[in-house]
A and B are shown apart, each in its own frame.
Chain A
Amino acid sequence: MTDTAILAPSRLAVVRGHLRGNPLLLVGGIVATAIVLIALLAPLLAPYPADAVSATHPLSVLLPPSMSHWFGTDQVGRDILSRVLYGARVSPLIAVFVILISCVIGIPLGLAAGYFGGVIDEVIMRVTDVFLAFPALLLALAFAAVLPPSLTSTTLAIAIAWWPWYTRLLRGQAASVAGRPYVESCRTLGISRRRIIFRHILPNAITPLIVEISLDVGGVILTAAALSFLGLGAQDPTPDWGLMVSEGQSYFMTQWWLVTFPGLAILITALAFNLLGDGLRDVLDPKRVVKLL
């Protein structure tokens, strides 16, 4: 019986294979791209761009969905479709920055704690634990309440509550990878510590984080919406989806369109990035069997 091995396919073939085998990834990817495009092209797509900024139309308040206003109008007469489209610039952007900040803080700390262990691990993790002791929303609330209400404050407040989760996640992964024979081999082979951490530990530890991040896009958007809902985040007239839901809640029973369309936007965005993350995890794991035609 001879040793068997499988032929190595090209990278492009691998990606194509993943897309074919995972239709949800395709859907997620397409929708996520669409949202990004909408955010970029909002001024061109929105029928009433001014409504997204400061315009009000007292004569057209609370109009139901119609040909001239696909999503209807809100309590000050603004076109909801335009505001939803512009909203694609606001909420996901918050998510992007929050996650970016959390990664910048969380990844190095997690790597250090996981690889070095000992005192460094103790110090980093105990500080992290303090932050983790509070529910993320409450922590974000606390900071948002202290800062003047604005998008920047929202972003900062949520980031402060978010980074510890990434630190802990990465620390666990890094510690686990650091103990594996191939990392030990690197040490005995005289590979530099820096290279071990960045070339071996980071790529092998990061996959759960990538999935987590894609799930978090929805989570952050929801948290930002909650903050806006409570008046601690974006302020009127910013077309923030969460703010729109908050402003529309008292009209929900009769003028359902105020709440529904921004709500759907949140739902679809969160779902799309979720699917994208799931699919990304599959793509990034070289061990998954690829279905080539």
Chain B
Amino acid sequence: MSFLLEIRDLQVHFGRVRAIDGVSFGLPTGPFGLGLVGESGSGKSTIGRAIVRLGPPARGEVLFRGHDVLRLRGRHLKEYRRHVQIVFQDPDNTLDPRMRIGATIAEVLTAHGIAARRQATGRVQELLQDVALDPDFVDRFPHQLSGGQRQRVAIARALAVGPQALVLDEPTSAIDVTAQARILALIQRVRDEHQLAYLLITHNLAVVSELCEATVVLYLGKVAESGPTGALLTHPAHPYTKALRSAVPELDPATRSSRVALTGEPPSATAPPSGCVFHPRCPLSVDRCREEVPVLREVESTRMAACHRAEEVLGGIEFSSPTTVAASGAPAGGEIREGGDVACRS
């Protein structure tokens, strides 16, 4: 399958910190949703920004329709920016506070010659309706809109250039849950109407399961595993994915399962562990994990994982973690150790 957007061995360094250390994956042509999942320090936002050419110069390749975009400049860069757009996480600062909504969107249209100043108004109103906003909003300032509405303006603005791919960087993390649901529904609708491909960056597994056909799981700047979302969540091939999945709180008691607890603290990117970056916290780690960096390889058809014991994880091996919390319908009893000499987890 040829990808719309292909990332090959991407590396982004902030000084000595290797925020992204060799990441590869592909986003097919739309309509398609690819989830990029990770916790803080995983580098997921950095990847999204690198794709739209923000941030420090990246090494490796980002291919859009087969052409490397990392070294584009001037007119070609501007051309590329019509095809791939980004929506940021923070609705409070995503729009210029001194410009009215209509002007903000119209500015994009005129910058790319899509519409002259006079015709822009009609197009702007169309775009607002596309994102389910009242066209009267053209005269309002951002501070007169709620967070969810501002995000929708940001989406409308991104759609104004007619992109083929969208990078959505935690688009709903900073807004209320009901507004969140509406934004997610909007993304679904926009994807179908415009045949969009999107890279949905988030820490929320439930969101990717609803919106993304495939998912890439990141840990400390590297890909832990990737594959079709459903399969990845039900039969993970990497211990981190399994731990992540088990940690997600569930509304329905029937779907709760034992939590795989991870030892230690989330790692620091300035001093990454040797061998597999996950090994200090991994319940399955063995000597080999400390010495040898696992290669991202195909463990099943369409499933890639970077783990020496991926086949065992895929096979459903039991995790003998130091603290496995028992599952139950009611909230489980917790444990507080009383003083004394206890093996500490950090």
Contact = CB atoms under 8 A, between A and B. Distances in A.
Interface in A1-26: 1, 3-8
B237 interface: no
B81 A188 contact: yes
Q: Is the interface of A mostly helix, strand, loop or mixed?
A: loop
Interface in A61-91: none
A190 B53 CA distance: 11
Interface stretch (B143-151, B184-192, B247-255): B143-151
Interface of B: 52-54, 78, 81-82, 85-86, 88, 90, 93-99, 107-108, 111-112, 137, 139-141, 143-146, 148-149, 154, 157-158, 160-161, 176, 178-179
Contacts of A291: none
A292 interface: no
A5 B154 contact: no
A286 B97 contact: yes
Interface residues of A, number: 25
B107 A188 contact: no
A130 interface: no
A191 interface: yes
In order of increasing CB-CB distance, the 3 nearest A-B pairs are: A3-B146, A190-B81, A190-B78
A237 interface: no
A289 B297 CA distance: 57
Given A187-B54, A189-B81, A182 B95 contact: yes
A236 interface: no
Given A181-B88, A188-B53, A195 B144 contact: no
23 contacts: A1-B176, A1-B178, A3-B145, A6-B144, A7-B144, A8-B144, A180-B93, A181-B94, A182-B95, A184-B54, A185-B86, A185-B95, A185-B157, A188-B52, A189-B160, A190-B78, A190-B112, A191-B107, A191-B108, A195-B111, A200-B96, A203-B98, A286-B141
A188 B178 CA distance: 29
B140 A8 contact: yes
Contacts of B140: 5, 8
Contact of B96 (A1, A3, A204): A204
A181 B93 contact: yes
A3 B144 CA distance: 11
B98 A204 contact: yes
Contacts of B160: 189
A254 interface: no
